[in-house]
Amino acid sequence: MLWNIDLTLVDVARISRDSYAEAFERVTGRPLVALPQTAGRTDSEIFFEALALNEVGLAGPAEVAGQELLARYTRELAVAFEARRDLLPAHGRALPGARDAVAAVGGLPGAIQSVLTGTIRPNAVTKLQAFGMDGFFDFEIGGYGSEIYPKGAQLVQARSRAAEKYAGRIVSAVYLADSGRDVEAAKIGGARCVAVASGRSTAGELREAGADVVLDDLADTDRVVRAVDWLTSPVSAG
């Protein structure tokens, strides 16, 4: 099972925005005036879109300069977010039912849980630690926002890492997330999808995108578990 983090499990948008702004200005020397849409996007995608929106040019060959700037930005973003760690409980929140859902899904027979998130790895861990959820995940096999690949490709890589680490135990994968882009990533990565209408996408939009199951939120733990159990059953797999 792979979980998205932001607006699926936690909402720390204010802290994230402040961290984006600080890191962006540190690496470009320019204030972050316009922030692109973040739903379903990785931190690397957000950064490159922010460069274009804020009309920041690259010095030198675009590919090389872009990768160097992204590496610097990723480091600064980790530093900026860590500096705000103590603010997370006051200015962020775990979404209703999130911790209970993660704990219950992790209790299913043979379940292995990780994250497939747009957040860079250090910040992903920090977000989950702040709300007591980090102990449920194997972070080594997850996909993170520092990677330049879109989420669909990251999902394929995460499944490969999991199969290698757990000696072929991975039979099926379920992605639990909140945006239409995440639903598309699940399709590309060959995973089933439980879409949760706790983010920017409505339940109708998530159904239209092709989610296998759509939930309003994670508050009904039994319903979450039933959805995951069904999607990983041989009958559901066809």
Residue 214: what pLDDT?
Answer: 98
Supply φ then ψ for residue 2, to 5 degrees: -115, 135
Q: Kindly state the DSSP code that residue 234 receives in the 8-state scheme.
A: H
Predicted confidence at residue 85, as pLDDT, reads 97
Answering whether pTM is above 0.85, one says yes
Which is it for the CA torsion 107, 110, 116, 120, positive or negative?
Answer: positive
Residue 168: the pLDDT is 64
Collect all residues with Cβ–Cβ distance below 8 Å to 228 and sequence separation of at least 6. 1, 105, 108, 174, 176, 194
Query: To which residue do tokens 């995951």 refer?
Result: 228
What the block records as the tokens of 32 is 């972050």
| Local structure of residue 238 (DSSP, 8 states) | -
Cα distances (angstroms) measured from residue 114 to each of 5, 122, 142, 194: 10, 14, 5, 15
Condensed to tens digits (0 to 9), the pLDDT of residues 169-213 reads 777 899 999 999 999 999 999 999 999 999 999 999 999 999 999
Cβ contact 91:14 at 8 Å: yes
Report the pLDDT value the prediction gives residue 167, as an integer from 0 to 100.
84
Q: Using an 8 Å Cβ cutoff, are 73 and 29 in contact? A: no
Q: What are the residue ranges in the chain where pLDDT is below 70? A: 58-66, 168, 235-238
* pLDDT score of 64: 47
